[in-house]
Amino acid sequence: MLTIYGVYRSRASRNYWMARELGIPFRSVPVIQARRVADPLAADAPLNTKSPGFLAVNPMGLIPAIDDDGLVLTESLANNLYLARKHGGPLAPADVPEEGQIGNWTMWAATEVEPYAVEIVLAYDKGIENTPEGQTEIAACARALERAFAVLEAHLAGRDHVVGGRFTVADLNLAEVFRYAMSQTTLFDSHPQVKSWLARCQSRPAFKAMMEERLKEPE
C-alpha cells in the first residue's frame, strides 16, 4: 500500500490529491514541519521532520515522502509523476510525447514559479504581509511571476488543460504550485485563462476532499 508522509498543510497536499484522483488506497503518516514545534527532539514531540523515525525515511528531513511497497521517493512533484505512470488512466501520459510535455511543464513550474510563489506564502506565514518589508518582498515576487503567468496564459488560449486536452498530472502539479500565489488576485485577474484553469482544477472532487482534510489541521 502507498504511504504518504506529511501533514496536509504542506507539499504533501499534492500527493494526497493525486492519490484521491487515482482512487488508490493510501495510509497517511502526519509528519509535521519541525519549525512548527517548540522542541522537535523532545521525547513528547509529535512526529516531525527532525524526528529520527522520519529521518530514516527521508534523510533530507523534508515532507512529503512516499513509500510505495518499499519504493521510497521524496520529491512531491516527482512522486505524482511516478504515481501517474504506475497507475495509468487519463491522468497519465498517453504516449512518449505527452510524457515529455508533462515532465517539461512540471519542471518548469518547479523552477520558474514555485521559488517565487513560496516566498509569497512565507511572507504571510511570518505575518509580515502588511509591513513595508513584506510588501516589498511580495511585490518583487509578483513581478517575477508575471512572465510565467504570461507563458501559461498564452498556452491555455483555446485549451482547458495543459496537456492532451484532458486533466492530467501536469494540471495537478501546476495547480498546486500556482495555488501558492493565490493571494495575488491582481496577477490572476490580469491572466483570465490561468484564473479559469485553476478554478477548474480546484473544482474537482478529489481536490475538494484533500482541502477538507487540510482545513481540519491547525495552521
The pLDDT-based confidence of 87 (bands split at 50, 70, 90) is very high
What is the reported pLDDT for 120? Answer: 97
Residue 61 is part of a domain; what is its CATH number?
3.40.30.10
pLDDT in tens, 97-106: 999 999 999 9
197 within a domain of the structure (yes/no): yes
The three three-digit cell numbers of residue 185, written as one number:
488576485
Q: How many residues does the chain have?
A: 219
Answer with the one of 42, 59, 88 that is the final residue of a domain. Answer: 88
213 within a domain of the structure (yes/no): no
User: Do 167 and 108 belong to one domain?
Assistant: yes
Full residue range of the structural domain in which residue 81 is found: 2-88
pLDDT in tens, 161-212: 999 999 999 999 999 999 999 999 999 999 999 999 999 999 999 999 999 9
User: Do 70 and 120 belong to one domain?
Assistant: no
Place of cell 500527493: 15
The three three-digit cell numbers of residue 130, written as one number:
502588511
71 within a domain of the structure (yes/no): yes
User: Do 8 and 35 belong to one domain?
Assistant: yes
The three three-digit cell numbers of residue 219, written as one number:
495552521
pLDDT in tens, 29-85: 999 999 999 999 999 999 999 999 999 999 999 999 999 999 999 999 999 999 999
Angle at which helix 132-156 crosses helix 192-202, to 10 degrees, equals 90
pTM of the model: 0.96
121 within a domain of the structure (yes/no): yes
185-191: Cβ within 8 A, 24+ apart? 186/142, 187/142, 187/145, 187/146, 187/149, 190/149, 191/149, 191/150, 191/152, 191/153
User: Do 101 and 82 belong to one domain?
Assistant: no
User: Do 74 and 19 belong to one domain?
Assistant: yes
User: Do 163 and 181 belong to one domain?
Assistant: yes
Number of domains in the chain: 2
pLDDT in tens, 116-163: 999 999 999 999 999 999 999 999 999 999 999 999 999 999 999 999
What is the reported pLDDT for 106? Answer: 98
